[in-house]
Amino acid sequence: MGVTGWIKNRPDQKVEAMVSGREKEVNAFIDWCKNGPERAEVKEVIVSEKEQIHFERFEIVREF
């Protein structure tokens, strides 16, 4: 989708992501999150802006 950063499932059944990129691509990613992948049940998407961080790539973090 043209963004870099990470996304992960949290133990509380929520999903957390931090992404960086051009505004158009970040907004497209946020819109995608509002529906999620097939079989996802998205109840709410909370967006907050932070100081931009440069990431080398986009990765799925698997912690557990």
| DSSP conformation class of 6 | E
pLDDT-derived band at 64, boundaries 50, 70, 90: low
**Cα 22 off chain centre by:** 14
As a whole number of angstroms, the distance between CA 6 and CA 21 comes to 12
Q: Domain extents for the chain?
A: 4-61
Look at residues 14, 3, 9, 4 and name the one whose alpha carbon lies nearest to residue 64: 9
Contacts of 41 (CB under 8 A, 6+ apart): none
pTM of the model: 0.85
**Cα 33 off chain centre by:** 7
18 pLDDT exceeds 90? yes
Q: What is the mean pLDDT of residues 41-54?
A: 92
pLDDT-derived band at 20, boundaries 50, 70, 90: very high
